[in-house]
Amino acid sequence: YGEVQRLLGKSLNTEELKILLGFIRYLGLPGDVISVLICYCKERARQRGSLRNPSLRTIEKEAYAWAERGIDNLEEAAAFIQAQNVRNCRMSRLQEQLQIRGRNLTAAEERYAGSWLEMGFEDEVIAMAYERTCLNTGGLNWAYMNKILQRWHEAGLHTAEAVRSGDRKPAAPRGSSGELGQAERAAIQRMLSEV
């Protein structure tokens, strides 16, 4: 109780004490994991630009998410936080690649970006998809870029080298370049000779 008050920088009211007690009784979280959870929530709020500590209701939502993931000891909490830090670092690099500066991603944009990271793409592959999107649409089009990356994922192309070698457009059929193929020329010659 005292540690939570210290971390949040305020005295807890009766309702907040009930929430805190629920972390222990209903979710089965040990005290040290609750402390780590609160520090994690505070840091996440800072990363999102908030100068205030998160409310105990916000922390409660994250506590339930941790409980659903089975995070109930320090080792699992540390592994989860490490994975989130890696993801956040990749998201920052992705935002830079997509030339999004001075704002956070919207929820929909974050879902797109998160799915691309979960698919296992290298940063360079995402940059290649962004370049292709800009060339074909004139700017960043999330849905268009997502289709490119989904197609590459389905084809198993997750590295830049794999995309360069495996994402070739099929060869154009004869005659599609505007020039007549031999079969077309022969058919025209037969028709002209019959006239």
d(CA 163, CA 127): 12
What is the token pair recorded at 176?
């599609």
What per-residue confidence (pLDDT) applies to 174?
Answer: 46
- Specify the range with the lowest mean pLDDT, choosing from 9-23, 29-43, 51-65: 9-23
What per-residue confidence (pLDDT) applies to 143?
Answer: 93
pLDDT tens per residue across span 119-173: 999 889 999 999 999 999 988 999 999 999 999 999 988 888 888 887 765 444 4
What per-residue confidence (pLDDT) applies to 195?
Answer: 61
**Collapsing DSSP states into helix, strand and coil, what is residue 155?**
coil
Neighbouring CB atoms inside 10 A of 124's CB total: 13
Mean pLDDT of 109-113: 92
